C-alpha cells in the first residue's frame, strides 16, 4: 500500500497519453492549439507500461487514461489492451471528448473497462461549437448512446462557464431523469494555456448548487464514495445523479488519493504543482526498477498538503496557466 507523508492512501493514477486534441475547448487551450510535443518528448507505450506496472506493484489500483484526447494517439487500443492485463490493477477507465470514441466502445467493454467519463458542456450544437471551436456535437452524442447501449458507467463532465453554458445546467440535470448517468459540474480552473484570459471562478460549487436547488428544491444529498472529488446529489425519482466538483476551490485535498503522469512523463503529486519528477527521463537514463521505485517513494513522501500549497510552491512563479491537455485533468 502506498501512503504519503500526510497519511493519505495513494491508489489512483491519471495517465495522460498525449497533449494533442481534435477539439479546442477555450477553457483548455488556445484556438491555434499548443506547441505539440514531438514523438521523442512523449512517453512511448513501452515506457508507460513499465511505469504503470511498477506503480501498480507499489499500490496503484486504478488507472484513468486521459490526455489531450486519448483517441487521437495512434494505436491507443493497444495500450489499453496491455494495461487491462496488468496484474493487480483493479480498474482501468478513460476520459474522452467522445469524437472518435464510438467505434471502440464494444472493444473497450470486452477489455473489462466499465467506466467512461465523457466531456460534454452543453446540449446545444451551436453552444458546443462556441465552446470547443469544432462542429462535432453529433459525434459526442453518438458516443454517449453507444456507451449506454453497452452498459458503461457514464459520467458526464461539464465545465461551468459564465456566459457560455449556464442555460445548460438544468437541462443537463434533467438528463439524469431517464438516463442512469452521473452529470458532474466542474468549476472552471485556470488551465487554459493562456497567461491572461482566466477570469477567476465565477461559478463556484456553492453557486452551482444554488442554481440547481432553486429548480429542484427536493434534491437530496447522497453519501459520497470514498475519495470522491464530487459532492453527489440525486433528484428523487431520477435514475441518474448529479455531482459538483470544486476543482478550483479545492475542498477535497484532505483525502487526495491521486497522482498524475503527464504525456512527457512528468509525475505530478497535485494538479496545481508544476511537476516533481520526470519518470521518462529517469527510465531513459537507464535506472533499474528498484532505483525508479526509490525515486517515486521519495516523491510520495514529499507531497504537499493541498492544492493551495502546491500553487504557492511552484518553481514557475508566473502562475497557473498551462493547458489542461498537458496535464490530463
Ligand atoms: N480530451 C479529453 C476530454 O476532454 O475528456 C480528456 C482530457 S481533458 C484535459 C480532461 C478533463 O479536463 C475534461 O473533462 C475537461 O472538461 C477538463 N478540463 C479541461 N480544462 C479545464 C479547466 N480549465 N477547468 C476545468 N476542467 C477542465
Ligand atoms: Fe481537448 Fe479535452 Fe482539452 Fe477539450 S478539454 S481541448 S477535448 S483535451
Q: What is the pLDDT of residues 217-231, one digit of tens each?
A: 999 999 999 999 999
Among 96, 119, 156, say which to mutate for ligand 2: greatest number of ligand atoms within 8 Å of CB: 119
Ranges assigned E (strand) in the chain: 12-16, 62-66, 91-96, 115-119, 153-160, 182-187, 220-221, 230-234, 241-245, 258-261, 266-268, 277-278
Which residue segment(s) compose the domain that 100 sits in? Answer: 2-327
| Residue the block writes with cell 512527457 | 264
- Which ligand 2 atom is at minimum distance from the Cα of 67? 8
Contact (Cβ atoms closer than 8 angstroms) between residue 193 and residue 34: yes
Contact (Cβ atoms closer than 8 angstroms) between residue 188 and residue 27: yes
- Taking the CA of residue 102 as centre, how many other CA atoms within 13 Å lie in the half-sphere pointing to its CB? 13
Task: Give the CATH number of the domain where residue 298 resides.
Answer: 3.20.20.70
Rounded to an integer, the average pLDDT of 82-102 is 98
Give the Å distance between the CA of 325 and the centre of ligand 2. 6
- Model pTM above 0.85: yes
Strand partners, 259: 13
Q: Is 157 in the pocket of ligand 1 (CB under 6 A)?
A: yes
User: Which residues are CB-contacts of 39 (< 8 A; sequence separation ≥ 6)?
Assistant: none
Q: What is the pLDDT of residue 315?
A: 80
Chain centroid to Cα 53, Å, comes to: 20
Contact (Cβ atoms closer than 8 angstroms) between residue 278 and residue 266: yes
- Which ligand 1 atom is at minimum distance from the Cα of 327? 9
What are the tens digits of pLDDT across the range 28-62? 999 999 999 999 999 999 999 999 999 999 999 99
Instruction: Evaluate if residue 5 carries a pLDDT over 80.
Output: yes
Give the Å distance between the CA of 66 and the centre of ligand 2. 10
Dihedral sign, Cα of residue 163, residue 168, residue 170, residue 176? negative
Among 153, 329, 325, 112, CA closest to 239: 153
Total count of domains within the chain: 1
What are the tens digits of pLDDT across the range 154-206? 999 999 999 999 999 999 999 999 999 999 999 999 999 987 789 899 999 99
Contact (Cβ atoms closer than 8 angstroms) between residue 26 and residue 191: no
Dihedral sign, Cα of residue 243, residue 247, residue 249, residue 252? positive
Contact (Cβ atoms closer than 8 angstroms) between residue 321 and residue 194: yes
Contact (Cβ atoms closer than 8 angstroms) between residue 118 and residue 42: no
What are the tens digits of pLDDT across the range 291-324? 999 999 999 999 999 999 999 999 876 778 899 9
Among 34, 191, 329, say which to mutate for ligand 1: greatest number of ligand atoms within 8 Å of CB: 329
Amino acid at each position: 500500500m502506498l501512503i504519503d507523508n500526510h497519511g493519505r492512501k495513494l491508489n489512483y493514477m491519471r495517465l495522460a497519453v498525449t497533449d494533442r486534441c481534435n477539439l479546442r475547448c477555450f477553457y483548455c487551450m488556445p484556438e491555434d492549439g499548443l506547441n505539440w510535443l514531438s514523438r521523442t518528448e512523449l512517453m512511448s507505450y513501452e515506457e508507460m507500461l513499465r511505469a504503470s506496472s511498477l506503480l501498480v506493484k507499489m499500490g496503484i489500483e486504478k488507472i484513468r487514461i486521459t490526455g489531450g484526447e486519448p483517441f487521437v494517439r495512434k494505436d491507443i487500443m493497444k495500450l489499453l489492451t496491455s494495461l487491462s492485463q496488468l496484474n493487480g490493477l483493479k480498474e482501468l477507465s478513460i476520459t474522452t471528448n467522445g469524437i472518435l470514441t464510438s467505434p471502440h466502445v464494444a472493444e473497450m467493454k470486452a477489455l473489462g473497462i466499465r467506466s467512461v467519463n465523457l466531456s460534454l458542456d452543453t446540449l446545444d450544437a451551436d453552444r458546443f461549437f462556441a465552446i470547443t471551436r469544432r462542429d462535432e456535437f453529433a459525434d459526442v452524442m453518438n458516443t454517449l448512446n453507444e456507451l449506454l447501449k453497452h452498459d458503461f458507467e457514464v459520467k458526464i463532465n461539464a465545465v461551468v462557464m459564465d456566459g457560455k453554458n449556464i442555460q445548460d445546467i438544468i437541462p443537463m440535470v434533467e438528463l439524469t431523469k431517464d438516463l442512469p448517468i452521473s452529470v458532474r459540474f466542474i468549476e472552471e480552473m485556470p488551465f487554459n494555456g493562456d497567461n491572461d484570459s482566466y477570469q477567476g471562478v465565477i461559478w463556484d460549487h456553492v453557486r452551482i448548487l444554488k442554481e440547481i436547488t432553486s429548480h429542484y428544491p427536493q434534491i437530496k444529498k447522497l453519501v459520497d464514495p470514498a475519495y470522491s472529488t464530487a459532492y453527489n446529489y440525486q433528484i428523487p425519482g431520477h435514475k441518474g445523479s448529479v455531482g459538483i466538483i470544486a476543482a478550483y476551490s479545492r475542498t477535497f485535498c484532505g483525502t487526495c488519493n491521486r497522482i498524475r503522469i503527464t504525456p512527457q512523463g512528468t509525475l505530478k503529486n497535485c494538479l496545481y504543482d508544476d511537476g516533481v519528477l520526470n519518470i521518462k527521463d529517469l527510465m531513459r537514463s537507464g535506472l533499474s526498477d528498484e532505483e525508479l521505485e526509490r525515486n517515486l517513494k521519495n516523491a510520495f513522501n514529499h507531497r504537499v498538503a493541498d492544492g493551495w500549497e502546491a500553487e504557492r510552491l511552484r518553481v514557475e512563479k508566473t502562475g497557473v496557466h498551462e493547458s489542461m491537455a498537458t496535464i490530463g485533468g
